Amino acid sequence: MISREVAWRVFAAEYNSSNLEVKGQEERAPSYVVTPLGAMINRLFVVGVVTDMENTGTDEEPLWRGRITDPTGTFYVSAGQYQPEAAMAMSKIQPPAFLAVVGKSRTYSPEEGTLYVSVRPERLTVVDERIRDYWVLETCRATMRRISAVEEALQMDAPSAEELMKLGYPKALSEGVVAGLSHYPDIDTSRYRTLVMDTLKYLLPEYHAEAEFPGKVEEGPEELEEEREDIDNEEKVLAIIDKLDKKGKGAPWDEIVDEAKKGGIGKNELEELTNSLLDKGLIYEPVLGKMKRI
Amino acid sequence: MEREELAPHVREIARVLGKDVDEQAIWKELETYLNLYRVSLETAKRSIVKKLGGDPSSLAKGTRKQIGQLGVSEQSVDLLVKVITVNQRDIEVDGTSKPILYGILGDESGTVPFTAWDADRYAFGKGDVVLIRNAYTKEWGGQPQVNLGNRAIVEPQDPGAVSIGEGQGPYYQEPKEVRIAGLQDNMGNVTVTGRVMTLEKKSVETSAGAKTVFSGTIADETGKVQFSAWHDFELKQNEVITIRGAYVRGWRGIPQLNFGERAQVIRPQVKFPGAAELSRPTARSIGDLERAGGGIEILVTGTIVDIRKGTGLIFRCPECNRVVQKGSCRIHGTVSASPDLRIKAVVDDGSSAMTAIMGRKITESLTGIGLEDALRKAREAMNPDVIGEKIEGKLFAQPVELVGNVTSDEYGLMMIVSAAKIVVPEVREQAAALLATMEGST
């Protein structure tokens, strides 16, 4: 039986802490992001507040990126020209709004040993607060189930998926927990337990006065976002240089500064970006005051 | 691979392709695939069957099992066993006499009776250890029975490969007690206790002539199951019965309970929920239904995560009710098709996903779009697809409660929905309760 990949309910904090990706052996086997609590995510269902949504590509080749926050952190979503329906739906979103997204897990590994995760939407729509609250509750339950599966596995001498399944855990979760345990050796379930409890309080008005906004489990996504913005802006600068380099002898610096300003990049930032591009060997200075693509 | 090793695979390909095939051509193909292209045997067999116009899915996929794991309707199974007893006798087939073998096979997990339908093909004796490939099983008295048909291959093995203790194993095993939600296709020898919810007497044609069958549904707290009793146990509606030695057959994935004269029916004096309580649909998770293969009168709570093509305003053939494309039915040609509304949704509860099919009435009540309304809107837009888009806009990401029967096939689970509503649960109470249990446990 071919079954459709289930849409996991997972909080941003857990999802963004993942840095393990596994792929099946067979041809065209799906790949999964394995979270520290053993969710094996190929598809996920997320409801949160969309805080920004912008086209970082061009009109012809759009690349829509957005952020969706839940009580624990931020999901990064993006869709481009190869996801025309999702990109079209994203283009119509006016933040802030409650947004429900069903999408596929995506990974980005800028260098060996680091893995960043994001969501590639399949379908999305604006929903109301009740649906968000219901998602938060469901996700609390699902997270607790994973916590208890991990805690059971930690008590085993030799954790195995078969033993977890005997205890009544589903196959995918049992396999995910075992895969996760060898990759995330220092998993601290009490942190996630606290996270779930804080999130439940978030749903209950009687706690609102005292409840702090639940914290992030790990840092990382913020840096990622900055890094991504840098990369996007570097692309912009390269495009400017290409455009201004009409005779193939380099683009005059002053004109680059003016053009970058129109694109929202200040002079200091531009200098940083060009330095980075020089370091990467993507541009060079053929004569003083001119920049040229290599 | 040696020629004699390939022979059974050539025979199997020939079997799948039917009578008029040239075995020499299959030999050539198989050798090319294996020796020249060096693909796996499985891939080679599938490709050849497909190339020669057959259905690759009818190729046997033998799985290795122990006797204790055997179900009552295995299609193709491999067994490593010791021959405990073997005898020959003759049977009459179409007026001629033909020798068959019968006896008992054993391994560490138990013993099982067997029949080999062509004695001349085999040369094993009592005490031999053999690997039997491509055997199948049938139900006999609620228990599996191993059959060696024309696909079976028997390979001699080292006598030490199976060790059975002295005097071990009468082949009768105690039936296993199972709740109704735990029943799965192919289970043999189960004991089930439930209340008879519906009952009818029917006459069915079988290969052995007309037979009377008593069928209906029985229920326990975990769910309902359809049953067929092939013997008159004087069952009565609403009584609580325990059936010992029943077996399970799947119908489109839905487990169904069968029992014949070798089964035992007893009337236990136990406290059991009443018919009114048991007649309510049973709440199950989709992951649980996937393990069972399906079920009847099921309640599922999940979220609509996708709306499939074929949702919205559709047109049906007045002759056969099939959906027509561009006014043309693929059986009856151009017809004056009648409009209808339908939803094909994917519902996901976090444990798994299933397709849910909803007819016109449910579509209307769930979306507030009536058929007349839909026709008018489609005319205005000059495009019937707008209805599907509207439905998607209304339903995507909505939590729903669905009641219906759930079947499964190679494409997954499917519910034919008989009742549906959008339900956004009140979260505060449940959140407070969950928080209280968590605080209690730390």
Question: How near does any CA of chain A get to the CA of B304, in Å?
Answer: 10
Mean pLDDT of chain B: 88
Is there a single domain that holds both residue A140 and residue A185?
yes
Q: Are residues A178 and A243 located together in one domain of the fold?
A: no
Q: Using a CB-CB distance cutoff of 8 angstroms, which residues of chain B are in contact with residue A137?
A: 425, 427, 430-431, 434
What is the per-residue pLDDT for A275? 82
Specify the CATH number for the domain of residue A131.
2.40.50.140
Chain A contacts to B (CB-CB under 8 A): 1-9, 45, 47, 100, 102, 122-123, 125, 127, 130-131, 133-134, 136-138, 140-142, 144, 170, 193, 196-197, 200-201, 203-205
Last residue of a domain, one of A207, A229, A246: A207
| Cis ω for the linkage preceding A96 (within 30 of 0) | yes
Say whether B356 sits in a helix, a strand or coil: strand
Give per-residue pLDDT as tens, B209-265: 888 999 999 999 999 999 999 999 999 999 999 999 899 988 999 999 999 888 899
Neighbours of B305 (CB within 10 A): 22
β-pairing verdict for A73-80 and A63-70: antiparallel
Question: Per-residue pLDDT averaged across A21-37, rounded?
Answer: 86
Q: Is A161 left (phi over 0), alpha (psi -120 to 50) or beta?
A: alpha
Residue that terminates a domain, selected from A175, A207, A239? A207
pLDDT value of position A224: 57
How far apart CA B69 and CA B187 sit, in angstroms, is 9
Asked if the structure places residue B83 within a domain, the reply is: yes
Chain B residue numbers touching A196 (CB-CB < 8 A): 438
| Residue of higher predicted confidence among A287 and A58 | A58
Residues B111 and B180 in one domain: no
| Residues of chain B with confidence (pLDDT) below 70 | 1-2, 4-5, 19, 60-62, 165-173, 441-442
Give a yes or no: residue B433 inside a domain. Answer: no
- Verify whether the Cβ–Cβ distance A134 to B396 is below 8 Å: no
> Tell me: the pLDDT tens digits for A48-66?
999 989 999 898 899 999 9
pLDDT for A234 beyond 70: yes
CA angle A171, A174, A176 (to 5 degrees): 105
- Dist. CA B298–CA B126, nearest whole Å: 50
User: CB neighbours of A47 closer than 8 A, spacing ≥ 6?
Assistant: A70, A98, A99, A100, A101, A127, A131, A132, A135, A136, B397
Separation in Å, CA B103 to CA A50, B61, B83, B160: 70, 25, 8, 21
Domain stop point among B115, B130, B161: B161
Those residues with Cβ within 8 angstroms of residue B52's Cβ, 6 or more apart along the chain or in another chain? B13, B17, B21, B25, B26, B29
In this structure, the answer to whether residues B414 and B322 fall within a common structural domain is: yes
φ/ψ bin of B314: left (φ > 0), alpha (ψ from -120 to 50), beta (otherwise):
beta
Domain that holds residue A176: 7-207
The region, left, alpha or beta by phi > 0 then psi within -120 to 50, assigned to residue B167 is: left
Find which of A26, A41, A43, A102 to mutate to test the B interface (most B CBs within 10 Å of its CB).
A102
pLDDT of residue B119: 85
- Compute the CA torsion angle A184, A143, A69, A208 (nearest 10 deg): -120
B397 → closest Cβ in A6, A127, A201: A127
Instruction: Evaluate if residue A220 carries a pLDDT over 50.
Output: no
Are residues A62 and A112 part of one domain?
A: yes
Most confident among A72-76, A240-244, B333-337 (mean pLDDT): A72-76
> Do B250 and B300 fall within a single domain?
no
B299 and B418 together in one domain: yes
Residues A145 and A236 occupy one common structural domain: no
Query: What ranges make up the beta strands (E) of chain A?
Result: 7-9, 20-23, 31-34, 40-41, 43-55, 63-70, 73-80, 97-108, 116-126, 251-252, 283-284, 290-293
CB atoms within 10 A of CB B425: 15
A100 CB neighbours in chain B (<8 A) are 396-397
DSSP code at position B168: -
- The count of structural domains within chain A is 2
Consecutive H or E run containing B416 = strand B412-422
Q: Please state, in angstroms and rounded to a whole number, the distance separating the CA atoms of residues B126 and B159.
A: 12
Per-residue pLDDT, averaged over A237-252, amounts to 83
Same structural domain for residues A126 and A248?
no
Does residue A212 fall inside a structural domain? no
Question: Do B198 and B95 share a structural domain?
Answer: no
Here the CATH number for the domain that contains residue A234 is 1.10.10
Residues composing chain A: 294
- Closest chain B residue by Cα to residue A134: B427
Backbone angles phi, psi at B383, to 5 degrees: -160, 115
Element (H, E) at A178: helix A171-183
Task: Return the closest-CA partner of residue A138 out of A83, A70, A187.
Answer: A70
Residue A36 has what pLDDT?
96
What was the pLDDT predicted at B194? 97
Task: Supply the CATH number for residue B75's domain.
Answer: 2.40.50.140
The alpha-carbon radius of gyration of chain B (Å, integer) is 27
Is B169 inside a domain boundary? Answer: no
Same domain? For A198 and A236 the reply is no
Closest CA to B284 of B375, B222, B196: B222
| CA–centroid distance for B321 within its chain | 26
Tell me whether residue A83 is in a domain: yes
Q: In this structure, are A202 and A226 located in the same domain?
A: no
In a domain, B167, yes or no: no
Q: What is the pLDDT of residue B388?
A: 94
* Residue of chain A with shortest Cα separation from B429: A204
pLDDT at B4: 66
Question: Between B162 and A162, where is the model more confident?
Answer: A162
Amino acid at B386: V
Domain co-membership, B26 together with B77: no
Instruction: Tell me B411's DSSP state.
Output: T
A241 and A172 together in one domain: no
* Residues paired with A119 in a beta bridge: A77, A105
Instruction: Say whether pLDDT at A216 is over 50.
Output: no
**How close is the nearest chain B Cα to the Cα of A94, in Å?**
17
Percent of chain B with pLDDT over 70: 95
Whether B435 maps to a domain, the answer reads no
CA neighbor of B162 nearest in space, from B67, B74, B62 = B67
Residue whose entry in the numeric block shows the structure tokens 């205890």 = A167
Q: Is residue A213 part of a domain?
A: no
**Tens-digit pLDDT profile for residues B326-353:** 878 888 888 888 999 999 999 999 999 9
| Structural domain of B313 | 286-422
Asked if B297 and B404 sit in the same domain, the reply is yes
Please check whether residues A225 and A201 belong to one and the same domain: no
How is residue B69 written in tokens? 């794991």
Judgement on whether residues B290 and B399 belong to the same structural domain of the protein = yes
Instruction: Please indicate whether, in this complex, the C-beta atoms of A2 and B408 are within 8 angstroms of each other.
Output: no
Of B256, B278, B300, the one marking the end of a domain is B278
| Residues B18, B123 within the same domain | no
User: CA B306, CA B218: separation in Å to the nearest integer?
Assistant: 34
Instruction: Output the CA torsion A157→A162→A168→A172 (10° steps).
Output: 110
Q: Are residues B327 and B385 in the same domain?
A: yes
CA pair distance B393, A125, nearest whole angstrom? 8
- Residues in chain A within 8 Å Cβ distance of B435: 197, 200-201, 204
Q: How many CB atoms lie within 10 A of CB B154?
A: 21
**pLDDT value of residue A228:** 66
Kindly state whether residue A231 falls inside one of the protein's structural domains: yes
> Residues B90, B121: one domain?
yes
Are the C-beta atoms of residues B225 and B248 closer than 8 Å to each other?
A: no
The domain boundary, picked from B161, B184, B212, lies at B161
**Domain closes at, from A151, A182, A207:** A207
Residue of A2, A137, A193 lying closest to B427 (CB–CB): A137
Q: Are both B295 and B393 inside the same structural domain?
A: yes
Give tens-digit pLDDT for A11-21.
Answer: 999 999 999 99
Measured distance CA(A240)–CA(B402) in Å, rounded: 56
Asked if residue B227 belongs to a domain, the reply is yes
Q: Which residues of B358-396 are buried (b: 16+ CB within 10 A; e: fewer)?
A: bebebbbebbebebeebeebbeeeeebebbbebbbebbb
* Contacts for B68 with CB less than 8 Å, ≥ 6 apart: B109, B110
Number of domains in chain B: 4
Whether residue A96 sits in one domain with residue A139 = yes
A125 with A234, same domain: the answer is no
Q: Is residue B441 part of a domain?
A: no
Residue A277 resides in a domain: yes
Residue B39 covered by a domain = yes
The bridge status of strand A7-9 relative to strand A43-55 is parallel
A111 and A168: one domain? yes
What local confidence, expressed as pLDDT, does residue A211 receive? 47
Asked whether residue A214 is assigned to any structural domain, the reply reads no
The verdict on a CB contact (< 8 Å) between A1 and B353 is no
The answer on pLDDT for A212 being more than 80 is no
